[in-house]
Structure 1
Amino acid sequence: MMASAEFVKKLTQMVQGLIAVESRQGGALWKLKNGMG
């Protein structure tokens, strides 16, 4: 079983990677999220 801290670290890296991809593509996901939120 993966340690909790290690899981959080991997999850954070994955999220940061998705954010980087989104910002390169114009941030469509963020615009949608901001529009909904």
Structure 2
Amino acid sequence: MDDQYLNIIGFGGLFINAILLVKVAIHEKRKFMLN
């Protein structure tokens, strides 16, 4: 139970980090294209 719970938290953290990286990448790409 505890291991499964930790795996879910770890996977959720990776998922959130991936979303943040994509958002930053899109933002930088837009800034680059506007210039």
Q: Same fold (TM over 0.5)?
A: yes
Greater RCO between the two (CA within 8 Å, min separation 6)? 1
Distance across 1 between alignment mates of 2:32 and 2:14: 27
Report the structure, 1 or 2, having the larger helix content.
2
4+ runs of 1 displaced by more than 4 Å?
none
Cα RMSD, aligned residues only: 2.1
Aligned residues: 27
2:30 to 17, 20, 24: 24
Unaligned runs of 5+ in 1: 28-37
Establish whether residue 7 from structure 1 lines up as the match of residue 13 from structure 2.
Answer: yes
Unaligned runs of 5+ in 2: 1-5
> What is the DSSP-based 3-state SS (H/G/I as helix, E as strand, rest coil) of the residue aligned with 2:32?
coil
Q: Which protein is bigger by CA-based radius of gyration?
A: 2
